[in-house]
A and B are shown apart, each in its own frame.
Chain A
Amino acid sequence: GNSVTQMEGPVTLSEEAFLTINCTYTATGYPSLFWYVQYPGEGLQLLLKATKADDKGSNKGFEATYRKETTSFHLEKGSVQVSDSAVYFCALISTGGFKTIFGAGTRLFVKA
């Protein structure tokens, strides 16, 4: 079946450090891929998405590229801020599918 695997957290970085959160997926066809962010006590917000191979989603300095050959969608940011501290979820919807499959989430702590 379809699944999403993302790196375990927590990830702790200093402000202005480079961020990578790894995400790999298992799905048939060409799923749509998403990154969501959850701040403490809130629901999830869509951060970025990509719908086909080699697409790059980007938002608020975050980027992720849809890599079909490695079935990956790693999240990157060049310089993190304290305000980026949150839980990040990688997710997919399979081709023709309806339900979203979420990864377990990766908690990010950014220190000043």
Chain B
Amino acid sequence: DGGITQSPKYLFRKEGQNVTLSCEQNLNHDAMYWYRQDPGQGLRLIYYSQIVNDFQKGDIAEGYSVSREKKESFPLTVTSAQKNPTAFYLCASSVQGGGQPQHFGDGTRLSIL
């Protein structure tokens, strides 16, 4: 079955450490997204990519970085510059073009040691 796979499910970061969250999709979608979700909050867009080798900052990009070298993959790095990284991170993808719904992975929960 097609879908989005996020790994790991749980991740712990030490102070000053960069960590990378994996997101892989086999839906053949052009567009991919990263969101952050804090407890009891909605989703905030970190980065998005409409096509391979291209990505744009979302609303809260500071302290994060991404790459899009392959259509299937859109990893997110949480850098040491992100001072409050504890959150639930969701990756999504969609068909290119207006008005298309997004398909989500099951998320990665990041905590600080």
Contacts and interface: CB of A to CB of B under 8 A. Distances in A.
A5 B100 CA distance: 20
In this complex, the interface size class of chain B, counting residues with CB under 8 Å from chain A, is 20 to 34
Interface stretch (B12-20, B39-47, B62-70, B75-83): B39-47
A88 to B, nearest CB: 11
A44 B43 CA distance: 10
A103 B42 contact: yes
B54 interface: no
A93 B90 contact: no
B107 A105 contact: no
Which 9 pairs show the lowest CB-CB distances between chains A and B? A43-B104, A32-B99, A104-B42, A44-B104, A46-B101, A102-B43, A43-B106, A102-B42, A43-B105
23 contacts: A32-B99, A34-B101, A41-B106, A43-B90, A43-B104, A43-B105, A43-B107, A44-B92, A44-B102, A46-B103, A51-B99, A89-B42, A93-B99, A95-B98, A98-B31, A98-B48, A98-B50, A98-B98, A99-B45, A102-B43, A104-B41, A104-B42, A105-B41
